Structures are given as structure tokens and as C-alpha cells.
Amino acid sequence: MDKPRRPRAETPKGFRDYFGPEVTMRKAMLDAIAAVYHRYGFDPLETSAVETVEALGKFLPDVDRPNEGVFAWQEDAADWLALRYDLTAPLARVAAQYRNDLSSPYRRYAMGPVWRNEKPGPGRFRQFYQCDADTVGSASVAADAEICAMLADALETVGIPRGDYVVKVNNRKVLNGVMEVAGLAGDDRHAERGIVLRAIDKIDRLGPEGVRALLGEGRKDESGDFTKGAGLSPDQAEVVMGFTTAKRDSGAATVARLRELVGASAIGGEGVAELEEIAALLAAQGYGPDRIVIDPGVVRGLGYYTGPVYEAELTFEILDEKGRKRQFGSVAGGRYDGLVKRFTGQDVPATGVSIGVDRLLAALQAKGRMQGETSGPVVVTVMDRDRMADYMAMVGELRQAGIRAEVYLGNPKNFGNQLKYADKRASPIAIIQGGNEAAAGKVILKDLILGAKIAENATLEEWKDRPAQVEVDRADLVAGVRKMLGQ
Amino acid sequence: MDKPRRPRAETPKGFRDYFGPEVTMRKAMLDAIAAVYHRYGFDPLETSAVETVEALGKFLPDVDRPNEGVFAWQEDAADWLALRYDLTAPLARVAAQYRNDLSSPYRRYAMGPVWRNEKPGPGRFRQFYQCDADTVGSASVAADAEICAMLADALETVGIPRGDYVVKVNNRKVLNGVMEVAGLAGDDRHAERGIVLRAIDKIDRLGPEGVRALLGEGRKDESGDFTKGAGLSPDQAEVVMGFTTAKRDSGAATVARLRELVGASAIGGEGVAELEEIAALLAAQGYGPDRIVIDPGVVRGLGYYTGPVYEAELTFEILDEKGRKRQFGSVAGGRYDGLVKRFTGQDVPATGVSIGVDRLLAALQAKGRMQGETSGPVVVTVMDRDRMADYMAMVGELRQAGIRAEVYLGNPKNFGNQLKYADKRASPIAIIQGGNEAAAGKVILKDLILGAKIAENATLEEWKDRPAQVEVDRADLVAGVRKMLGQ
């Protein structure tokens, strides 16, 4: 008979564990961003990880099992539940559910994991943290300007100095105006406008030529599949492409160029005016183009957002393992309509930003800008198993004094193992008290950091000058440890 | 033709949203507990919410859809995934998966939501927070003593003063010894021992008489269903029941009574000795019976844990809506074996505690011990829509000065609505600048807290003495707000 197979000790594909400093660094980043959001008047909201599929609303009614892109399961014969895939969909549900209780406008921030049922890849996980701030119920572009300023503050707070990032602002309405000029205005051109939006949104991946092909007849990809294009003439396509390359050296020049491109289009003119107003509101608060710029080259999310769109870019280079410049692009937002309307039928304007905290953290770590705790706890070793109470009293005193400390809880027989343990714990000090020391009312403090340095490369003078271990009175344990820690 | 039905804006049954102070209070509690755990040398660990069902290992192979108690779904033809139902099962998986990399012993803490697919009830949700600390790889009862001390520290840190809680310690081995004495020692009495364990574990619900029935022939419940008992004679049952009521006035007397009960049983003697040793180790650190006591009446979890068992109880009463004493009991732990062994085949002793943060928070709130932020942001009102840049400059200055502030972003037409908004936001101050003030370089600060008080019950003298609004130079905005806030 076969023995039952042991279970595999593995995370599911695309999930991972976070240890020690990885947890505390992310927490420090979330706390710092939350403090900025809070100062701006945003209130915290924590929704549950689980929503009804109906509330998330991403699925077609004819799909039997709605697990495309999300993790979903059937609760009973009727209801499907799913893990949230972002923090915006739950906000829309909350804004509808509590619309009579929430202040209007409602500024809220939220942070926590979201889940995507997608193919995992290097650095791409199926659970990751987002840190969002949104204003629901304000149609004013002042709300957008505020989000941009707050985003700049948040980035600086987590350790990205001014000059190392830029917040870029674009506007979907300007693109709509450009499409009008390109002859795509009518109700009967809805499909073509969709093709243009999707094409623009793919410019990072396809490049200008790929987008141009999709604006025209269509594009054949590497696999030979053909994607039908919007059927624009080369001149019309040129107008649309002009939008993505309209950035000039100054905000005023960019605005002038955009005004040219949108011509007489009312919606386009509105979009350009909004960009100007956002820039003016930000300038009044001292946020100039060193921090926030108008950049029509920002096309990501233009298909989703309905007005201003913003994206933060790190201006320093981060290379991946293969030496290629790593795309960052996980801090972005914009104005969206219709999310609350799904529930209530009423238009509720909203705008907000999402910070992909895990990627931001990875970028800062790659740049050496973020460092976790490097020193571990003081370790009280166990020389005499029968005197565990004495060792626990020592560790208790240290903790009472606010010093991170632990007593060795493994098998104490082999003292070498205890020092190896202290080493693995990155312990700065080992406390030692054998029978002789105990009888004399003494305790030995071993400076493990200095000891490691000496072992590496100290001269004899240094060694004599500052021995790596000292004996102190048992009563002076805390004071001695403090001194050795340099506190 | 029917219009498509709008989606319902609702959380799934048994889930809820947390707003503002609910989020920040829980965060404050988690942060405070984490600081204690950290000082004790515990390292943070964050596993993903999703595990393979195989790793969680709660399910029988013959159950087709393993959703009893957990939320689970099928990833592909082979793999089932599930949301973690506690933080211990993922720890066991981590301890096995990274056994060559982690220090041994491994002290870790973890905090985060867990999910239970159970019938929701009043105050019972299907997602709730736990905050755990465990030591993996130490067989020493010093590890158990440490957890008890840390638990006492954690409770005091979150605002439960000494005397308002007690940590009770019991030991499964003592019960095993008692069962030996009652004649349930042999391999052939495995089933009876199981019945005894389950019966003991239900004492809170069934009362002593119900347990006694289950120790004897069996018990018929209210519905008429009969549960077969362990078949003990009344004398044998009395020995087992004696265990649960063995607590005496002092720890020494309790230990003496337990020693009597376990008689010559080796395992029982070992359990009693462990309890004595834990008490001695704690006393050496100054944790006396005012904080931690030996209490054989703690029976919860005796079926799960293998050695020492601990539970924190709040000694002040909290009544539920119906005036009944509310059961608290969501801070508990103990020593467990076999969890890591499932994966590796090797015995790895472990001990730890779990704090049910949401219930602890509810208890403290019910007692008025925990209060969230009560004051909202300063609100800059919008008197003149065209001068939004001026108002944003004001709010920018306040934020730069670290003062939580926001500009009104709704439709500014109706000033009354703006003050209503400030009221809903619990704003302490409204900033007002109309055209006249702007021309004079002035700004009005309206003290909304004082204003509300005056409106309620101020005398004319008080009103004259401290008017609820002042006009200050625009340049003194920040200083004026600070003064009014009493900073």
C-alpha cells in the first residue's frame, strides 16, 4: 500500500512570501503615503477583499465561469464572489451603497492587496499592494490638480527627491477633440474611435509605426494575426499621432500646440482649457514644471479615463537583470465617470490615483534608496540550562528598557550553535553568563559587529584599543548594552 | 424589452466595510502590538492571502468541493486554491518551505485578515484580522513563558491596564495524565480519549452537566439528537471533571491539586512540572499572578494543542445589546506539534498566540477605552469660483505646515452647503475669504467647535469674550489657524 503523499510546502504559482525587512519597508512606505493622504483631508476606507462579482462588474453575462482576470468562485447556486482586482471598483460600490451617509465630495484613501488571475512572470505577481486616493463627487479640475500635488508630495515623502520624478498630465478630452478633427466625431464612428483609443493605449508596446498601422488599414502581428484598423487616411492618422508627440519645451508651448491640433472642436478646446487650469492651480501652490508637466505623450489609460490623466515617472534609470531600462509605470490615475452610475443611474464624477507600492519599493531598492532594518536583536545565550530563569530575567530587563532582545531558545548544548544563531539573526551583541560570571555577579557582552570587523581586517592596535568583549556588573547589564550599541 | 437590472451595491453576506476611525484605530492597535512583538525579537512575515488547499490541509480527500469552512476554488483541472483561514497554517508551510534558510528557532509575527466560510452572525464576520506571534523550533517551555509575557505586554500596550486582564495557562499533558488515571490510557481507548477532548472543549456551551453526560453514556441535545459518550463510570468522569475545577487560590495550591489528580501518570507529571516551570520563569521576569495564572479551567483548544495552552481574559465586564455578559475569548494560543511534520515528516515543536484584533478593539470601544480621531480637517471654503487658485494656495500652505486641510471641491454656489459639508467632516475651522477680504488682504477663520458650543448653551458674556470667528491678515493664515487649534 502506498503511503499518502506529503503535501508540497509551496506558495501557489504567482504568489510569494515577504520576510522581515520586506514587510517593514513596505509598511514604512504605506505609512508615509497615508500620512500625506491624511494631511490632504482624505479619510481611510478598508473594504473587504471579497466582493460579489456583480458589484465588481467585469464580466459578460454569457461567460459561465467568470474567472478571466479575477479569482472567483460560486458562493451558492446564484452568487459568484471574487477577490477585488483593484481598489477603485470597491470604492464605486461604497460610494453607491453609502451615498446618503458620506460627505460629498468624498475624499478617501485605501491601501491593501489586490489580486489578478493572470499569468505570472518575472516580477509580476498575482497579489500585490496598491495605495489609492480618490475624490468622489467633484467635477472640478481642482480635484485633479489636488491629486497631482498630493502625488508629488507622496513621492517625495517616500524618498524620491525633487528632480528624480515627474508627474505628467494629459487629458482624454483633448484626444476626443483630435478625433473630431480627424473626422471620427459621429455616432456612426463609435467603433473606429474605440480602435483609435485601444491603438493609442498600446503605443509603448507597438511603437509609433504599429499604432499608425492600427489607425490605418490594420496591423499584422508577429504570429501573423491581423488586427483590423480604424481606416483613417494617412492625413487623419497624422493628426492623431500629432497628439501623442505634442509635448514642447514649456507648458505654454505644449498648450498652444494642442490648441492647434484640436482646432474648432468644442470638447478638444475644453480639454486644453482643463490642462491649462490644472497647471495654473498647481502653480499657485508652487508646483511648477520641475514636478508636474503637461505631457500629451501619456497615453496609458486614455481608453479608461474620461478627463485628465496623470502618471508619475521616475527620471532616474533602473536597469533590469539583463541591463535593459526597466519600465516603471505603476503610479497613475485620472478622472473617470460611470463607475458609480452603474449602480445608481446617476452621474458621479470621480478622480484619483493608484500607487503600485511593490514596484515603487522595488525601484527604490534597486537604486539603494530604501533600506530595511539591518541589525537584529541582542541575543542572551544559555550557558547553563538550569538557569534559564536568570537569562529570561536579563532579556526581560533589556526589553523593558526598549532594547530588542531575545534569549536563545534552541538546544543550548553546543555554544557554537548559539553564536551561529546570533550571526544569522544579525545580532549586534551576545550576552554570556556562565557559572563563574554568575558567582562573581558579572556578565559578558560580546560585540558581534566589532568582532566581525576585527576578524576581517583589524590591526593589533585596534584590537587592543577596543576589545570585542567586555565584562560588566550584572546590575549594569542595560547600561553596558546601551553603551555598546552606541545609544 | 426589460432594461438590464442594475447591480446591487452591497458587500457579500458576512463582509463589511471599515471607515475612517475604524481603520485608524485598528491600525494603531496593530502597530502597538507589532512593536511589542518586535522588541521580543520576533520578525515580521507576510504570506499571501491565497494558499493551495493542499498546503492548508484541512480537507478530506473524499470531499469533492473543499469549501467547508474556507473559501476555495479550482485553479485548473488539478489544483484547488483557498483563502487562508488563519495565520498558523501558512506559517507551517513557510517553516517547511524555507527550513534551510530560516534561523532556528524562528520567531515570527504576522498580522492581516483571515477568511472563514461560515454562517455570519451578529458581530461575526467572514473576514477578520488576526495578529499572531509564534516560535517555531523550540521545545523549551521558556518559549511558552515568553509568549505569555509578551501577550501581557501587548495587552497593556493597547490600553488594558494591569488588573483588567489575566493570562491563564493550562496544559494538555495534564489532561492526558488525568485521562490515564481515569483508565483511558491504552491504544484501544483512542476513540474515547477523542470524545473526552471534544466534550471538555465544549464546556462553555454545554455546561458541566452536559460534559458529564458526554463523559458517561452520552447526551441528547435539544433537537433530540443523541451524541454517544466516552462510557466512563461516574468515578472516572469525576476525575476528568476535577481537572477543569482544579484551580485554587494560589498557583502552588493549584499545582498541588493537579499533582494529586494526575497521580502516577508520567505524562501528567510532566505537564504539571511544565506549568510550574512556566510560572517560575515568568516570576523571574516579574510576571506574577496579577498578570499570568495557572488555570486548569481553560479548556478551549485542548483538543488542538499538545502542551501548554494560554488564553487572555478581560476581567471587566462588557455587556452585549441584550445586557448579557459578552464572551470575549479571542486571544488564545498554545503549543502545537505536527503542523510542520505534515510537510517534512520531521517533528518541529512550535508555540504561539493569536490575537483577534477586531474583537479586542470592539471590547475596548465598548469600554470607552479606544477613541479614533474626532476632529476633521480645516476646510477652506470657496466664495468665488474664479479664485480657486487662491484657495488652493491657502490649503497648500496649511498642509505644508502639517495641518490637515482641504478646499471645498463641491459646487460652491450655495455657501450653506459648504458649512454643512464642514460640519459633516467634523471640521474644527472654516476659512472664508470673499471679495472684500481678498481686497483687504484678510481672511476669516471661523471656529466651528466653539461656534457649535455657543449655539448650544453659551452666555452672552462668553460670546463677547471669545467670538467664534476672527479676521486675520492673509499672511498670518497658518499662525491664526494654529492659534485657534490651540497648537
Q: Which of B7, B16, B281 sits opposite A389 (nearest CB)?
A: B281
Q: What is the pLDDT of residue A14?
A: 93
Q: Which CATH architecture has domain B378-485?
A: 3-Layer(aba) Sandwich (3.40)
Flag whether residue A81 sits within 8 Å of chain B, measured between CB atoms. Answer: yes
CA-nearest of B369, B289, B370, B303 to B332 is B303
Residue among B17, B48, B49 minimizing CB distance to A94: B17
Prediction ipTM score: 0.91
Does the N-terminal peptide bond of residue A105 adopt cis geometry, omega within 30 degrees of 0?
yes
Is B44 within 8 Å of A96 when comparing Cβ atoms? no
| Best mutation target, A18, A43, A62, A404, to test chain B (most B CBs within 10 A) | A43
Domains B10-49+84-159+315-372 and B165-308 share a fold: yes
In this prediction, residues B4-21 reach a mean pLDDT of 92
Instruction: Give the type of residue at A10.
Output: E
Interval B376-388: pLDDT, tens: 999 999 999 999 9
Q: Name the A residues in 3-22 with CB < 8 Å from any B CB.
A: 6-12, 15-20, 22
Residue B231's region, left for phi above 0, alpha for psi from -120 to 50, else beta, is left
To the nearest whole number, what is the mean pLDDT of chain A? Answer: 90
Tell me which residue in B15, B105, B284 faces A389 most closely, judged by beta carbons: B284
User: What CA–CA distance (Å, rounded) separates B223 from B218?
Assistant: 14
Asked which of A181-190, A406-415, A431-440 is least confident by mean pLDDT, the reply is A181-190
Whether residue B182 contacts residue B308, with contact meaning beta carbons closer than 8 Å, is answered with no
Q: Are A211 and A237 in contact (CB under 8 A)?
A: no
Q: Does B183 contact chain A (CB < 8 Å)?
A: no
Under an 8 A CB cutoff, do B404 and A41 touch? yes
The CA distance from B83 to the nearest CA of chain A, in Å, is 10
Alpha-carbon radius of gyration of chain A: 30
Closest CA to A438 of A379, A378, A383: A383
Report domain extents, chain A.
Answer: 20-366, 378-484
Cα-Cα end-to-end distance for chain B: 63
Contact A281 B75 (CB under 8 A): no
| pLDDT digit string, tens, across residues B47-103 | 999 999 989 876 544 444 445 688 998 887 778 899 999 999 999 999 999 999 999
**Angstrom distances, CA of residue A145 to CA of A92, A136, B390:** 21, 14, 13
Q: B425: which chain A residues are within 8 Å (Cβ-Cβ)?
A: 41, 103
Among 3.40.50.300, 3.40.50.2300, 3.40.1390.30, 3.30.930.10, name the CATH number for the domain at A20-366: 3.30.930.10
pLDDT at B62: 42
The mean per-residue pLDDT over the stretch A64-79 comes to 73
Q: Which CATH superfamily is domain A378-484 in?
A: Anticodon-binding domain (3.40.50.800)
Compute the count of residue pairs across chains A and B with CB atoms less than 8 Å apart.
275
- Distance between CA atoms of A299 and A394, rounded to whole angstroms? 61
| pLDDT at residue A327, rounded to an integer | 66
Residues in chain A within 8 Å Cβ distance of B485 = none
Give the closest of A9, A50, A393 to B15, CB-based. A50
For residue B371, pLDDT over 80 is answered with no
Please report, rounded to a whole number, the percentage of residues in chain B having pLDDT higher than 70: 93
**Nearest to A107, CA basis, from B410, B384, B15:** B410
> In this structure, which topology does domain B10-49+84-159+315-372 adopt according to CATH?
BirA Bifunctional Protein; domain 2 (3.30.930)
Give one DSSP letter per residue of B303-350, joined into a string. TT-SSEEEEEEE-S--B-TTSPBPP---EEEEEE-STTHHHHSS---E
pLDDT reading at A208 higher than 80? yes
Q: Is the pLDDT of residue A3 over 50?
A: yes
Residues of A in Cβ contact (< 8 Å) with B119: none
B68 and chain A in contact, CB less than 8 A: no
Contacts of A426 in chain B (CB under 8 A): none
Which pLDDT tens digit goes with each residue over B20-51?
Answer: 999 999 999 999 999 999 999 999 999 999 99
Separation CA A193–CA A176 (nearest Å):
9
CB atoms A18 and B389 under 8 Å:
no
Residues 351-370 of B with CB under 8 A from A: none
Assign A156 a pLDDT band (cuts: 50, 70, 90): very high
Interface residue of A3, A5, A59, A73 to substitute, partner B, most B CBs within 10 Å: A73
Helices (H), A305-374: 341-344, 357-366
What confidence tens digit (pLDDT) does each residue in A362-392 have?
A: 888 888 877 777 789 999 999 999 999 999 9
With residue B210 as reference, give the H or E element that holds it: helix B203-215
**Overall pTM > 0.90:** yes
> A345 pLDDT exceeds 50?
yes
Residues of chain B positioned with their CB less than 8 A from the CB of A409: 105, 135, 138, 140, 142-143, 146
Instruction: Give the model confidence (pLDDT) of A231-264 as tens digits.
Output: 999 999 999 999 989 999 999 999 999 999 999 9
- Residue B308: asked if its preceding bond is cis (omega within 30°), the reply is no
A:415-444 residues touching chain B, CB 8 A cutoff: 421, 424-425
B chain contacts of residue A50, beta-carbon cutoff 8 Å: 12, 15, 71, 83, 115, 126-127
Q: CA B55, B61, B63 angle in degrees (round to 5)? A: 110
Closest CB to B343: pick one of A6, A45, A396.
Answer: A6
In a mutational test of the A interface, the residue from B23, B74, B379 whose CB has the highest number of chain A CBs within 10 Å is B23
Q: What is the mean pLDDT of residues B200-212?
A: 88
**Cα separation values, B428 from A21, B96, B450, B473, Å:** 39, 54, 9, 20
CATH superfamily of B165-308: Bira Bifunctional Protein; Domain 2 (3.30.930.10)
- Contact by Cβ (8 Å): A438, A387: yes
The answer to whether A9 contacts B113, with C-beta atoms less than 8 Å apart, is no
Whether residues A52 and B12 touch (CB distance < 8 A) is answered with: yes
Distance CA A404, CA A395 (A): 9
Q: pLDDT digits over B253-283, tens only?
A: 999 999 999 999 999 999 999 999 999 999 9
The per-residue pLDDT for B323 is: 74
- Mean pLDDT score across all residues of chain B: 90
